[in-house]
Each structure stands twice: as structure tokens, then as C-alpha cells.
């Protein structure tokens, strides 16, 4: 099922980029976007983890610099029957975390500075178990591909906007049609990027919560962590590319008023209630 969704995203990316290329540059723009989309799909599949890491400005951390973090991840990985993932740190005071990579053998788990400072060991275990659950459930590729796709669409909209300002566009005789095409690209592409993120099923988070609690052996750590993470996201801003927001355990942009209207994450109270009910 996840492989089908991955190929569906790749196909959607191709259609969006080729259509936008035609609107902006006619047949020439369309052919350019055909080539670009092929390269994008290839690089997205093989290098989605690197793209996600770059979008979040995360950096690798050595075991000697974070021995407790490594010990927790190693213990949880053994319980989950997973290879030890690479560990990264995301520079932010907001407590949060995400996982990326195309499969368990190429997985990355990244935590923010704020998460290690503000959460107890049990709560950190709950969060890391949730991220390893994403790896175990093999849904980290779909999230990484979606982040890359949304980023590409948004970048294309920005290019179209600058093209309109400086007079670039279609080379056909109908100048008005060209301008309309560019305006449609500028307006529609960001909306398409948002839809891509909303299309990432919220059931991924519910599933990772349940699997993570089982990996950790108890739900209390994750439950308490989710409550703290929600408060942290609302009170401590994170400078992160919106295209990557859906990868985090809680929406890092939830403190921004408009972001909450189109959240890719299910409500924290609902996640907590489901966990409590599942482990009664």
C-alpha cells in the first residue's frame, strides 16, 4: 500500500510540474518540466532523507556527544527489531522530532535541542519509540517524498512569481493567456502543495502512536510527551520549511494562526484519548 502511495505521489508531482511548465513556458516549458520531474522523482526516491535533513537544517550527532540519546535509540531499536538508525539533531528550542529515509536500512531519526532539554527520559523514550514506529510501519518514505514534493511545488510558484515580475513567460502570441497561466501557477501551486501535505493520512500518526507505545512498553511516556510537545509548539516558534512540517511528531507550525487551519496532524487530545483507550 505504501509503495502504491509513493508512486501515486510521484505521478502527481509529474503532472503538476508538467502542467505548470506548460502554463508558464508553453511547449518549451512543458518539455523542461518533463525532464525536471524525471530527475526529481529519481532523486526524491533515493535521496529523500538527505532532502528532508537539508530542509530542517539537521546535523549528525556522534555517540560521544549524546551517549544517553544513543543508548535510548539502540535499546528501542532492538525491541522493535530494527537496524540502528542514524541520529541527527535539529537546531531548535522547540521540543520536537521526526524520522526520514526510504526504508529501515536507511532511516534517520532527528530530535531538536529543545526536546532533550524539556522532556524526561521516559517521555524522550516515548517520542523516539513513536519515530521508530514510523520506520517499522514503513511510512517514512511517503512522508519524505511528500516533503520534497511540496517544497518543489512551492519553489515553482516562486519562480513563476519572479517570472511575472520580470516579464518571462510563454512565447506564444497570446500574451494575456500567458499571464493568466502564470497567475494560475502562482495561486494554484501553493494550494497544491498544501493539499499534498493534507493528503498524508492522519492515520499514520495514530498508527505510529500505538506502535510506539508498544515498542516503549507503556503509553505514559508518549502521552505526557505529546501534551508537552503541543504546548512547546504553541509557545516556542520553529524556523522550518512548511513543506517539511508534516514529518514531525507534532506540527511545528501550530503556533502560527493559519497553520492550525490546515494541520496535517490529528488533534493531540484525540491522540492521547486513543492511546489511553488502547491501553486500558
Determine how β-strand 97-100 pairs with β-strand 59-60. unpaired
Buried b (16+ CB within 10 A) or exposed e, 84-103: ebbbbbbebebbbbbbbbbe
265 is in an annotated binding site: no
Q: Which residue's C-alpha cell is 502562482? A: 186
Residue 42 cell numbers, joined: 529519481
Distance CA 226, CA 251 (A): 11
Which has the closest alpha carbon to 184: 157, 163, 152, 166? 157
Q: Output DSSP code: residue 97.
A: E
Is 205 annotated to bind a ligand? Reply is: yes
- The residue from 131, 230, 234, 270 that is catalytic is 131
User: Which residues 6+ apart lie within 8 Å of 206 measured at CB?
Assistant: 266, 271, 274
Q: Which residues contact 109 (CB under 8 A, 6 or more apart)?
A: 73, 85, 86, 87, 88, 97, 98, 99, 128, 131, 132, 135
The answer to whether residue 270 is catalytic is: no
Residue positions forming the annotated binding site? 130, 134, 205
The residues annotated with a catalytic role in the active site are 131
Amino acid at each position: 500500500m505504501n509503495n502504491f502511495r509513493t508512486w501515486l505521489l510521484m505521478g502527481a508531482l509529474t503532472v503538476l510540474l508538467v502542467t505548470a511548465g506548460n502554463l508558464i513556458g508553453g511547449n518549451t516549458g512543458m518539455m523542461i518540466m518533463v525532464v525536471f520531474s524525471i530527475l526529481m522523482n529519481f532523486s526524491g526516491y533515493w535521496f529523500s532523507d538527505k532532502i528532508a535533513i537539508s530542509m530542517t537544517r539537521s546535523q549528525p550527532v556522534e555517540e560521544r556527544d549524546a551517549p544517553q540519546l544513543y543508548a535510548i535509540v539502540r535499546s528501542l531499536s532492538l525491541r522493535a527489531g530494527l537496524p540502528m538508525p542514524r541520529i541527527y539533531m535539529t537546531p531548535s528550542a522547540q521540543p520536537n522530532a521526526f524520522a526520514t529515509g526510504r526504508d529501515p536500512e536507511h532511516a534517520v531519526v532527528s530530535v531538536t535541542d529543545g526536546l532533550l532539554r524539556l522532556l524526561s527520559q521516559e517521555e524522550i523514550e516515548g517520542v523516539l519509540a513513536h519515530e521508530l514506529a514510523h520506520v517499522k510501519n514503513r511510512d517514512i518514505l511517503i512522508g519524505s517524498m511528500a516533503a520534497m514534493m511540496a517544497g518543489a511545488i512551492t519553489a515553482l510558484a516562486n519562480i513563476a512569481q519572479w517570472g511575472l515580475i520580470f516579464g518571462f513567460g510563454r512565447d506564444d502570441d497570446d500574451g494575456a493567456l500567458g499571464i493568466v497561466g502564470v497567475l494560475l501557477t502562482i495561486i494554484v501551486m501553493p494550494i497544491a502543495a498544501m493539499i499534498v501535505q493534507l493528503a498524508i493520512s492522519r492515520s499514520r500518526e495514530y498508527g505510529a502512536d500505538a506502535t510506539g507505545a508498544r515498542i516503549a512498553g507503556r503509553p505514559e511516556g508518549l502521552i505526557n510527551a505529546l501534551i508537552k510537545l503541543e504546548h512547546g509548539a504553541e509557545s516556542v516558534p520553529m524556523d522550518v520549511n512548511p513543506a517539511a512540517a508534516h514529518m514531525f511528531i507534532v506540527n511545528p507550525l501550530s503556533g502560527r494562526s493559519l497553520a492550525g487551519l490546515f494541520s496535517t496532524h490529528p488533534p493531540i487530545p484525540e491522540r492521547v484519548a486513543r492511546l489511553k483507550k488502547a491501553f486500558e
